[in-house]
Amino acid sequence: MTAKMDTGLKKADRTDIAVELKKVLADSFALYLKTHGYHWNVRGPQFFGLHNMLEEQYREQWAALDEIAERIRSLDETAPQGFGTFGNQTSIKDGDPEKTAQAMIEELVGDHGTVIATLRKAIETADEAGDEATADLLTQRLAAHEKTAWMLRATTQ
């Protein structure tokens, strides 16, 4: 026998929140993969600085993936797994290792914008359901992506 789930949130609200969290996780995973790939493949006069900056970013993103997935599980939903599942839920496209450093950075800025939009929708859903824990996690992720997008934009000016 399993214990009854009682977090003060209705099952339907937990499900709605988890749907949005799964989109956040898919976008975050796709962005993580692209950032890591661009870390490997960036080249040019700014190589060292960009290589190190992207490493810092993908490491931070990797840690966040676990937090997001565990929040889905804490809502008594299953976390998605697998490239196909994530690929079907994200609008972030694979990176192109042949792009210039400038084009890579510009693309990552746009992708952070995509994640930011996904986060804002998920925060709205969590707020409407009274899920402060999810809203807090997502607000922290929002701030992290906004800061990262700013840092990336600053390298292109």
Please give the chain's pLDDT, 157 residues, in tens. Answer: 566 767 789 999 999 999 999 999 999 999 999 999 999 999 999 999 999 999 999 999 999 999 999 999 999 999 999 989 999 999 999 999 999 999 999 999 999 999 999 999 999 999 999 999 999 999 999 999 999 999 999 998 7
Task: Tell me how far apart the alpha carbons of residues 57 and 43 are, in angstroms, rounded to a whole number.
Answer: 17
Contact in structure between 112 and 72 (CB atoms under 8 Å): no
Please check whether residue 97 is in contact with residue 37, taking contact to mean a CB–CB distance below 8 angstroms: yes
First to last CA, the chain: 60
pLDDT at 157: 75
**Whole-angstrom distance, CA of residue 81 vs CA of residue 26:** 9
- The confidence score (pLDDT) of residue 7 equals 78
Domains of the chain and any CATH numbers: 11-79+98-154 (1.20.1260.10)
Q: Which residue has the tokens 């214990």?
A: 3
pLDDT attached to residue 1? 56
| Predicted TM-score (pTM) of this structure | 0.94
